[in-house]
Structure formats: C-alpha cells, structure tokens
C-alpha cells in the first residue's frame, strides 16, 4: 500500500468503498506495482481477498508484500487470502489430468470455451460464511492479469462474461470489490485486447492507467498515472473526474508528483 | 533434518518447503525453492551451486549468460527460473552466437544442458560450441577458488618459507566455479568437456516421427512433445526438488533454437491469422510454469521479425521475462552510417523482469552496439566511438570559437566554445566554423590541466583581448 496513492485516491484502509470495479491498465510500461498496492491495501483493510495470480509465482508477491508491510503467508494461513497460483496450477493440469473441474480447465481444451470453472472457484473462495468468527469486511477479487487469459486462447467475450459474473456476485450481491489488471497493447493492433479493454473501461468505476512517458526512458520519472473516476454515485458531484500524476518507483514505495515537478528536475 | 521428513512425501509445492525450512531456520539452499530470498544468506551454511551467485539487489540466484558484458546489462546475470528471449537478427548470424555462449557457459560451470532444435541435431550444436579462454589477461577479477585449494603439506621450505603460503596454481581450469567466462569463437570446445557434461537433446524430426496420440489441445504437436520432454527431464533428474536424496543440486540450462519458425510446425511466421495462433503463447506460459518451480534457466531464440501479427509479438514479450533484441546492420541503411562504422549491429534490451521487487536493475545506457571480432563478441556504448573520433580532431585543452554560417567576422559574431560545445555543434543543423583560439594552458607540475579551456584572461593577471 503506497500512502501517497491513498491520498490521491482519497481512500484509507478503514474507509474503503464497496461495490466497485477498479480497472488497472498499463500501456508501454509495467503496471504491476498497482496490483501490489491494492493487494496490500485490501489485506490491511481486513477484507477477504481472492487473488488470481496468473503471471508470477506466489513467493514474488509475498516478498514484495513484505516490503509493503503485509505478510501473504500469514494472511493465507488465517484464511483471509485465497490464492490461485496460475503457473503452478497450469503445470499441474497440463501434465496430470484431473477428474474434478479445475479452475484452469480451459488449458486442456482445443477451443477454450468459457471461464465457468474459474468463476466457480472465485465464488467458492469469497462466499461469506455465517459462522461466529470475526467476519471480514467485504470480499475482494483481485486478478493479475486478464490479458494473459487472452494469450492462453480464451476469447475476449468469454473474459468479459467472467468479469460480468464476478461483478454481479461480488460487487452487487456481496457488496465487495473487484480489481483487475489489463495490458493495453497500444499500437500493436491487438483487436482482442482492445475489445476487452473498452468493455471493461465502460463498466468500471475507477480506472488507473499507468503509461510510459511519451519521450521514452527516464531514470527519475518512471511513468505517468492517470486516475479516472467514473459513475459517481451522488448526482451532485461532477461526472468523470480525471487526474494525472507522474511517478517514480522506489524500493519500498512509489512517489507521486505533479507533471514536470519531479524532484530530480526541480 | 526434520525438513526432509515433510518433503519426503513428494509434494511438489515449494511453498510448503519454504514454510518447513523457515520454521527450522535452515538457510541451506537444498531445502528452499528457487525463488527464496537470500536475505539471510549471510550465514555460512548456505550451500551454493557451482556457476551461480546471488544477486546483490534481492538475493535472487543468478546464472551467467556466457557473455560477461550481457550479464552486466541484465543486472548481474540471468535469474534462475526465468526465460531469456533473444529476438533474432534478420539473417540469423549473431543470435546463434548468444545461444552457444549460454550452452558453453553451462558446460564449463558443470550445469546440465537440454538443447532443443528443429533444424540441427543437438549433438552437432554441442560440437560447435566455443572454447573457454584460460588466458590470464582476460580475467577481470582474482580467482578466489584458487586460494581455497588445499595445500599439500609436503616439503617444508626453510629459506623461502613465505612461498609455502602461496596457493598452488591450477594446471588447467577444466571446471571453474567462477561466474562468467570468456570464450574464443575461433576454437571449438575440447571434446573431453562435452563428454564429461550431462546433456539431453531434443531433435524434432526424430521425436515427431513416432505416432502421436496426443489429445487435441490447441498446441502444435512439436510444442507438446517438447513440453513433455522438458517436464520429464525436470522430474526425473530432480531439478524441481522432488527427489530429496540428491546431494548435489545443479542447474538445468534449457536452450530452444528458432522457436516459432515453421520448422516447429507453427504457422505463426507464415500467415497473419493462423489457426494455431495461441499455440506459441500457451507454450511459453506452460514453460514459464515449469521453470518457476525448478532450478533451471532457459534461453529461446525466436525469429520475431518473421511474425506477421504484431499483437503476438507483444504477447510473447509479456510472457517472457528478459527480452533482448539483436539488429544487425547487414543490408540495412545503417551500414553506411559513420556512427556505426566499427560495429556489426545494435543490441536492444527490451525488457528486464522485476522479480521479488518493485524495482529492477536497468542500465542507463541505451545505445548499445555489438561487434564480432575474430575471437570475441563485444558490446559497447555507441557514443564511445564517436567521442573518440571527436577527440582526435578537436583535442581538449584548447578552446574553440564557433562562427555561424553566413555571419560576419566582426566583433561579437564569434561564440566561445569548449570541446564539449564543439561536439554539440557538430550535431546541430547549421554549419559552423571552428577556429582554434589559443594555445593550450601551461602544464602544471602534476601534469593535470586545471582548466579544460579558456581564454587567456587571468594568466597574466590582466585581461587580454582575443587576438586573431
């Protein structure tokens, strides 16, 4: 969790909003620092998190999480965190066929159908249990990232259906949040990726877009973050507010500053 | 150790291994997964594998790519468990060199090799590897392993007793445990090194001729067979920690040549919209899963310039960890550019992974070019050559005056410039004439010039006007 980003988004772990779909998007740069931020943010906010980690191994997220002040292993042992490790599960299901439906069942099929087994996994993980123990604040689904599903042969419409189902269950029914990372291919003319990105941008309440600088690589400014609030709940607030900041990623945090106001330049 | 008991059930999850290890406070590398942090590796019980070293940033285990210059650009080396993707140059002349360096480094360090190719028999590939250089003049750092050798307690020297303390020098370094070696391309690797090494070959025409009974899975049969072969070797040889009885841990170096080319049965380089468009990306994903759960590192050369669909190139880049692109000057307009006169091509570091960290090591230098000399493959910063030429024409220690084209020779029309400005003036669009203005400043006793350039203002204590 980066305190500066919390200030920009005007949220705190105690007062996190519910029922929102947040879209993380990156273009020409790596936006995975946003995933680490939201993961540690929701763990600190005492929410039950289902993390679909398709890109890196669990220990990678764990190690970055430790730098940000959360321990994913303890959260997993406590039952606060449910992780689907994409890489490990893919190897399991690819080389040893399993009988019961596996969340990544589509890897074995020639024409990947839909993501229903994956949705079933998410639903089972986040179902609120009504027992006497200390309940978690709200369920959160975090996906890193959805573009990998396109690379694995799933169609963009199937991914959009999956997100729709998750939103209906997690956001609307259980008043939780959904956060997903999508890569923007930019000028690579990836039609499937554009369909997915446009569809998700339309549905989401908050869009965080990390872009590389148009002028290329810079040592002191790693990129630009555009924050777009959509669908304000109160009719009196102005619609579609947008802010742009530049950022620099450091070892344990990310510092944000207004455009052109990098400490290296001033 | 108690940790052996929990691992003996054959569970493949490295997570449980790490948990067991941390409760026992064991930092021995044998008990931890390949992605474990070396943050507490200061303790001497850390068992290290030959030919590897922990990264200075996060303790990640690194192996050398065979080119110490490339190791430096990648932040110390290639991390174990990751993929190095080499985007081939147009005529596939220089990328096989990087491939061979990687494999040769594996043989010299004593690692196991897995060579996969659809074009060449792996045994032939291994015969053509470059020979390691043992010449001392190429060693950059002192060889600490030599000092740690046991000394024979034979004759006690009476007079030259200090010489007894010196370590004995190796006659020939067959298996050196130093990180990163230099190779001589003009010579072949000695046969005995290949014979003592452990290698597995995958030659596609041999494997695919057997009847295939694979279920349709949207992976081309070639990729399917290769994945099964790799998984088989990793499991049988115990690189994923499933065989705890193995005493000496080792790294498996996987080399896949020309992945994605039509010889692998993939249409992705032939047409823009092919049926098997997801085959290559699926292969890379499953391969990454295999690598992350085992002690292995992989190099893949891919002819990305042949892939018609740009979206696929972007996806392939996202699915690989480290991506290096080679661009050779043969046949391109850059061949005649004087800036690139001494070089054979450019090398682009397109992507470096962030592993266990928010940040990564990236060098500031972006314009890198490579040169293939008779014996060595070197990587240099392009500007170095240019600046060298500049210094010959405009030596430092003088000051130069800059006159814009078509301006008068009167007062105030000349601008004072130092060596650096003269360098910049060359790059500017307008033509300018540079006039040598004054003699070099007197040398001081130490031989250093205090002022790089300057008009003779304070030399005599009086201001002097410029004389023409």
What number is the ipTM of this complex? 0.93
CB contact under 8 A, B289 and A90: yes
Tokens of A105: 């069942």
Contact A32 B216 (CB under 8 A): no
- Give yes or no for a contact between B145 and B249, defined as CB atoms under 8 angstroms apart: no
Chosen from B274, B314, B350, B351 to mutate, greatest number of chain A CBs within 10 A: B314
Q: Please work out, in degrees rounded to the nearest 5, the angle formed at the alpha carbon of residue B85 by the alpha carbons of B81 and B89.
A: 160
Q: Cα angle vertex B140, ends B372, B322, to 5°?
A: 60
**Other beta carbons less than 10 A from residue B339's beta carbon:** 14
* Sequence ranges of the domains in chain A: 18-217
A265 is written with which tokens? Answer: 């330049």
Residue range B310-332, pLDDT digits in tens:
889 999 999 999 999 999 998 88
- Single out the residue of A150, A113, A153 nearest to residue B219, CA to CA: A153
- Over residues A173-193, the mean pLDDT reads 90
List of chain B residues with pLDDT < 50: 1-46, 137-154, 166-175, 417-419, 427-432, 434, 441, 443-468
Residue where the block lists tokens 């250089």 = B133
Task: Confirm or reject contact between A251 and chain B (CB < 8 A).
Answer: yes
Looking at residue A133, its pLDDT comes to 58
* B275 and A CB contact within 8 Å: no
Indicate the residue of B37, B281, B293 with minimum beta-carbon distance to A152.
B281
- CA dist A212 and A205 (Å) reads 23
> Following CA atoms A72, A78, A80, A81 in sequence, which dihedral angle do they give, to the nearest 10 degrees?
40
User: DSSP alpha helices (H): ranges in chain A?
Assistant: 3-9, 32-44, 58-68, 72-78, 86-95, 116-126, 147-151, 156-166, 191-203
The reported pLDDT for the residue numbered B37 is: 37
Is A151 near chain B, with CB under 8 Å?
yes
Going by C-alpha positions, the residue among B237, B80, B232 that lies closest to residue A59 is: B80
Q: Does B56 touch chain A (CB under 8 A)?
A: no
Q: Between chains, do A148 and B58 touch, taking CB under 8 Å as contact?
A: no
Tell me how far the alpha carbon of residue B75 is from its chain's centroid.
9
Work out the end-to-end distance of chain A between its first and last CA atoms, rounded to an integer number of angstroms: 27
CB atoms A94 and B36 under 8 Å = no
Neighboring chain A residues of B289 at a CB cutoff of 8 Å: 86-88, 90-91, 94
Residue extents of the structural domains in chain B? 63-135+174-392
Contact A59 B289 (CB under 8 A): no
- B-chain residue closest to A189, CA distance: B311
B281 vs A36, A87, A151: nearest CB: A151
Nearest to B282 among A58, A147, A152 (CB): A152
Helical axes B14-24 vs A58-68, angle rounded to 10°: 50
Query: For the packed helices A116-126 and A156-166, what is the interaxial angle rounded to 10 degrees?
Result: 20
Q: Which chain B residues have a beta carbon less than 8 Å from that of A67?
A: 357-358
Q: At what angle do helices B279-292 and A86-95 cross, to 10 degrees?
A: 110
CB atoms B364 and A90 under 8 Å: no
Would you state the pLDDT for residue B456? 43
Q: What's the pLDDT score for residue A260?
A: 80
Angstrom distance (rounded) from CA B37 to CA A66: 12
Which one, of B240, B40, B63, B62, lies nearest residue A66 by Cα?
B40
A218: which 2 tokens? 């810079």
Collect all residues of chain A within an 8 Å Cβ-Cβ radius of residue B32.
none
Residue A263 has pLDDT above 90, yes or no: no
Asked if residue A176 lies in contact with residue A19, where contact means CB atoms within 8 angstroms, the answer is yes
| CA dihedral over B18, B52, B366, B324, signed as positive or negative | negative
- Contact (CB<8Å) A59/B282: no
| C-beta of residue A8 within 8 angstroms of C-beta of residue A20 | no
Tell me how crowded residue B144 is: count the other CB atoms within 10 A of its CB.
10
For the beta carbon of residue B263, count every other beta carbon within 10 angstroms.
16
The answer, yes or no, to whether residue A157 has pLDDT greater than 50, is yes
Candidates A222, A211, A217; CA nearest to A256 is A222
Neighbours of B418 (CB within 10 A): 17
The C-alpha of B386 sits at a distance from chain A's nearest C-alpha, in angstroms, of 22
How far does B289 lie from chain A, in Å, by closest CA?
4
**Residue A107 gets which letter from DSSP?**
G
Distance of alpha carbon A220 from alpha carbon A32, whole angstroms: 18
User: Alpha-carbon dihedral of residues A96, A100, A106, A109, nearest 10 degrees?
Assistant: 70
Angle, helices B310-319 vs A191-203, to 10°: value is 70
Q: What is the pLDDT of residues A54-94, one digit of tens each?
A: 999 999 999 999 999 999 999 999 999 999 999 999 998 88
- Chain A (152-181) residues lying within 8 Å, Cβ to Cβ, of chain B: 152-153
Using alpha carbons, list the distances in angstroms from residue A133 to A16, A124, A129.
22, 18, 9
Say yes or no: A124 contacts chain B, CB-CB below 8 A: no
User: Chain B, 360-419: which have a CB under 8 Å from a chain A CB?
Assistant: 364, 366
Most A CBs within 10 A among B10, B11, B12, B15, hence the mutation to make, goes to B15
Residue B427, number of CB atoms within 10 A of its CB: 7
- Could you identify the residue written with the tokens 């002040």? A69
Q: What's the gap in Å between the CA of B245 and the closest CA on chain A?
A: 23
pLDDT value at A118 more than 90: yes
The C-alpha atoms of residue B465 and residue B460 are separated, in whole angstroms, by 12
Instruction: For residue A252, report the phi and psi dihedrals to the nearest 5 degrees.
Output: -120, 0
The whole-model pTM stands at 0.78
The confidence score (pLDDT) of residue B158 equals 57
Q: What is the 3-state secondary structure (H, E, C) of chain B?
A: CHHHHHHCCCCCCHHHHHHHHHHHCCCCHHHCCCCCCCCCCCCCCCCCCCCEEECCCCCCEEECCCCHHHHHHCCCCEECCCEEEEECCCCCCCHHHHHHHHHHHHHHHCCEEEEEECCCCHHHHHHCCEEECCCHHHCCCCCHHHHCCCCCCCCCCCCCHHHHHCCCCCCCCCCCCCCCCCEEEEEECCHHHHHHCCEEEEEHHHHHCCCCCCCCCCCCHHHHHHHHHHHHHHHHCCCCCCCCCCCCCCCEEEEECCCCCHHHCCCCCCCCCCCCCCHHHHHHHHHHHHHHCCCEEEEEEECHHHCCCHHHHHHHHHHCCEEEEEEECCCCHHHHCHHHCCCCEEEEEEECCCCCCCCCCCCCCCCEEEEECCCCEEEEEHHHHHHHHHHHHCCCCCCEEEEECCCCCCCCCEEEECHHHHHHHHHCCCCEEEEECCCCCCCCCCCCCCCCCCCCCCCCCCCCCCCC
Q: Does B41 touch chain A (CB under 8 A)?
A: no
CA distance A227 to B344: 45
Mean pLDDT of chain A: 88
Tens digits of residue pLDDT in A185-241: 888 788 899 999 999 999 999 999 999 888 777 888 889 999 998 866 566 666 678
Instruction: Give CATH for domain B63-135+174-392.
Output: 3.40.50.300
In sequence order, what are the beta bridge partners of B84? B299, B322
Interface residue A59 vs chain B (CB under 8 A): yes
**Partner residue facing B217 (CB), from A59, A110, A219:** A110
Backbone angles phi, psi at B63, to 5 degrees: -120, 160
Q: Which of B33, B318, B319 lies at the smallest CB-CB distance from A59? A: B33
For B59, the closest chain A residue by CA position comes to: A63
Scanning every residue of chain B, which has its alpha carbon at the shortest distance from the alpha carbon of A94?
A: B286
DSSP output for A79-90: TSEEEEEHHHHH
Q: Between B437 and A9, whose confidence is greater? A: A9
pLDDT at B292: 93
Sole residue written with tokens 């321990």: A71
In the sheet that holds B400-404, the strands lie side by side as B414-417, B400-404, B432-436
Superfamily of domain A18-217: P-loop containing nucleotide triphosphate hydrolases (3.40.50.300)
Closest-CA distance, A169 to chain B, in angstroms, reads 29
What's the DSSP call for residue A186? G
Total beta-carbon pairs less than 8 A apart between chain A and chain B: 114
Rounded-to-integer distance, Cα B256 and Cα B84, Å: 10
């Amino acid at each position: 969790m980066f305190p500066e980003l919390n200030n920009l988004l005007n949220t705190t772990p105690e007062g996190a909003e519910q029922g929102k779909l947040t879209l993380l998007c990156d273009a020409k740069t790596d936006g995975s620092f946003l995933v680490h931020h939201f993961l540690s943010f929701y763990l600190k906010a005492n929410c039950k998190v289902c993390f679909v980690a398709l890109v890196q191994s669990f220990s990678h997220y764990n190690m970055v999480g430790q730098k940000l002040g959360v321990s994913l292993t303890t959260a997993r042992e406590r039952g606060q965190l449910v992780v689907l490790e994409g890489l490990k599960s893919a190897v399991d299901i690819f080389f040893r066929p399993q009988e019961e439906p596996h969340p990544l069942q589509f890897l074995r099929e020639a024409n990947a159908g839909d993501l229903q087994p994956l949705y079933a996994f998410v639903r089972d993980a986040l179902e609120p249990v009504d027992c006497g123990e200390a309940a978690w604040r709200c369920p959160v689904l975090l996906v890193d990232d959805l573009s990998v599903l396109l690379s694995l042969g799933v169609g963009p419409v199937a991914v959009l259906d999956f997100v729709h189902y998750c939103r209906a269950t997690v956001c609307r029914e259980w008043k939780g949040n959904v956060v997903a990372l999508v890569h923007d291919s930019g000028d690579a003319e990836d039609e499937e990726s554009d369909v997915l990105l446009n569809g998700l941008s339309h549905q989401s309440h908050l869009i965080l877009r990390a872009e590389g600088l148009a002028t290329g690589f810079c040592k002191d400014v790693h990129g630009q973050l555009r924050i777009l609030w959509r669908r304000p709940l109160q009719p009196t607030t102005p619609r579609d507010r947008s802010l742009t900041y530049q950022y620099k990623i450091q070892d344990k945090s990310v510092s944000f500053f207004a455009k052109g106001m990098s400490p290296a330049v001033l | 150790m108690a940790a052996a008991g929990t691992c003996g059930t054959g569970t493949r999850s490295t997570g449980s291994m790490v948990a067991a290890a941390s409760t026992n406070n064991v930092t021995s590398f044998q008990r931890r997964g390949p992605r474990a942090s070396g943050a507490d590796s200061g303790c001497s019980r850390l068992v290290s594998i030959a030919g590897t070293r922990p990264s200075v940033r996060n303790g990640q285990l690194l192996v050398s790519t065979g080119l110490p210059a490339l190791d430096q650009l990648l932040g110390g080396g290639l991390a174990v468990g990751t993929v190095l993707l080499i985007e081939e140059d147009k005529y596939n002349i220089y990328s096989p060199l990087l491939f061979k360096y990687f494999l040769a480094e594996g043989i010299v360090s004593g690692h196991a090799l897995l060579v996969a190719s659809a074009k060449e028999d792996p045994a032939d590939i291994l015969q053509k590897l470059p020979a390691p250089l043992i010449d001392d003049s190429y060693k950059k750092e002192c060889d600490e392993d030599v000092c740690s050798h046991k000394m024979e307690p034979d004759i006690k020297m009476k007079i030259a007793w200090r010489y007894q303390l010196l370590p004995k020098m190796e006659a020939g370094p067959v298996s050196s445990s130093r990180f990163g070696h230099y190779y001589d391309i003009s010579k072949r690797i000695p046969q005995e090194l290949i014979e003592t090494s452990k290698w597995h070959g995958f030659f596609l025409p041999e494997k695919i001729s057997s009847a295939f009974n694979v279920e349709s899975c949207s992976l081309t049969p070639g990729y399917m067979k290769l994945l099964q072969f790799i998984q088989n070797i990793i499991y049988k040889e115990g690189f994923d920690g499933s065989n705890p009885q193995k005493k000496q841990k080792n790294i498996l170096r996987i080399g896949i040549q020309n992945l994605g080319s039509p010889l692998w049965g993939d249409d992705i380089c032939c047409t823009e919209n092919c049926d098997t468009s997801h085959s290559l990306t699926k292969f890379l994903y499953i391969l990454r899963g295999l690598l992350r759960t085992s002690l292995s590192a992989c190099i893949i050369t891919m002819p990305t310039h042949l892939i018609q669909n740009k979206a696929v190139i972007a996806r392939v880049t996202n699915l690989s960890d480290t991506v290096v692109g080679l661009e050779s000057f043969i046949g391109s307009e850059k061949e005649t550019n004087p800036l690139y006169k001494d070089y054979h091509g450019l090398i682009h570091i397109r992507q470096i992974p962030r592993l266990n960290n928010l940040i990564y090591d990236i060098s500031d230098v972006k314009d890198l070019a490579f040169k293939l000399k008779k014996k060595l493959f070197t990587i240099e910063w392009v500007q170095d050559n240019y600046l060298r030429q500049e210094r010959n024409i405009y030596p430092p220690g003088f000051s130069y005056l800059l006159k814009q084209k078509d301006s008068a020779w009167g007062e105030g029309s000349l601008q004072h410039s130092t060596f650096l400005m003269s360098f910049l003036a060359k790059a500017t669009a307008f033509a300018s004439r540079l006039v040598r203005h004054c003699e070099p400043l007197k040398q001081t006793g130490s031989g250093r010039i205090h002022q790089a350039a300057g008009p003779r203002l304070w030399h005599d204590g009086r201001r002097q006007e410029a004389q023409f």
